[in-house]
Homo-oligomer: A and B are copies of this chain.
């Protein structure tokens, strides 16, 4: 397995693959890998086949964190990640060192040599995560565009847990005509239903026990809507009551929307999407499902 730590060596490797006609699949991650990530690797492998190359990028992208968010304490363990990737049959890990991805820094000094170009999606990225984290998606689309250019994959795989992120990336790929296909792999869950996330490690034992409440709220709403369509206001009210049974949980948002356009649904029916974000202390968890 190749370990690539600079932008220049990643570019060179991508050109070698391109010139040799090798199919490449990219799985962009922020590291601290879990089974959910490894399922993306599987999907990437089936997509490009045994002769293709599966690349995992590991980069805790500073520009998608707002000041005060958990950038500095976001969990990191590159050694463990590399072992997991090797065991999963990954061909190359691109883990750029600090200072590689944003030349001249992220400073906005006018007229300087600093980094000054962003990719901005201004429709699907406004609600939910975009409302709670206003600069988040600009950071995501920008770094993903950079990774797409550096690795030049034919396929890139994202996780369904970050439902809105996948929708924003798909839109970016469509609008800017990126020459690649976006695949989305299903959310991987713990036995009790909690969606796997690198941030779960921050939960105390009691928070961890109560964190299943996100999954329970999704399951309840799904069953409810399958009986008959319901008003979103009714569902939100009931979800708040379900969450109230987990005293350590604090609801950030719950939303019901069209899975393609992300337009909110006042009346919710089967086929609509539900998403929610819940704080446990300073740890913020998200989850979603098709109802």
Q: Give residues in A with beta carbon < 8 Å to B.
A: 7, 11, 14-15, 18-19, 21, 103, 108, 110-124, 126-127, 141-142, 145-146, 149-150, 152, 171-172, 174-179, 258, 260-264
Instruction: Given A113-B261, A177-B150, check contact A120 B120 (CB 8 Å).
Output: yes
In-complex Cβ contact of A103 among B118, B175, B261 (8 A): B175
Which residues on B sit within 8 Å (CB–CB) of A149?
176-179
When chains A and B are docked, how far (Å) is the Cα of A179 from the Cα of B19?
13
Sorted nearest first, the 4 A-B pairs with minimum C-beta distance are A116-B123, A111-B263, A117-B175, A149-B177
In-complex Cβ contact of A261 among B111, B117, B174 (8 A): B111
Closest B residue to A124 by CB, please name it. B116
In-complex Cβ contact of A123 among B18, B111, B121, B174 (8 A): B111
Instruction: Give min CB distance, A232 to chain B, whole Å.
Output: 15
Which residues on B sit within 8 Å (CB–CB) of A18?
18
Residue with the highest number of chain B CB atoms closer than 10 Å, among A103, A179, A262: A179
Closest B residue to A122 by CB, please name it. B116
Residue pairs across A and B with Cβ atoms less than 8 A apart, 5 shown, are A110-B126, A111-B258, A115-B175, A116-B171, A146-B175
When chains A and B are docked, how far (Å) is the Cα of A7 from the Cα of B176?
11
When chains A and B are docked, how far (Å) is the Cα of A260 from the Cα of B112?
9
Residue pair B146, A177 in contact (C-beta under 8 Å): yes
Instruction: Given A111-B124, A111-B263, A175-B103, check contact A117 B146 (CB 8 Å).
Output: no
In-complex Cβ contact of A119 among B103, B113, B119, B171 (8 A): B119
Residue pair A123, B112 in contact (C-beta under 8 Å): yes
Residue pair A116, B175 in contact (C-beta under 8 Å): yes
Which residues on B sit within 8 Å (CB–CB) of A178?
149
Contacts A103-B174, A108-B122 given; 9 further ones with Cβ under 8 A?
A11-B179, A19-B21, A111-B258, A111-B262, A111-B264, A116-B124, A117-B175, A146-B177, A149-B176
Residue pair B118, A122 in contact (C-beta under 8 Å): yes
Residue with the highest number of chain B CB atoms closer than 10 Å, among A7, A14, A117, A150: A117
In-complex Cβ contact of A113 among B120, B141, B260 (8 A): B260
Which residues on B sit within 8 Å (CB–CB) of A121?
116-117
When chains A and B are docked, how far (Å) is the Cα of A123 from the Cα of B15?
30
Instruction: Give min CB distance, A64 to chain B, whole Å.
Output: 15
Which residues on B sit within 8 Å (CB–CB) of A103?
174-175
Residue pair A11, B261 in contact (C-beta under 8 Å): no
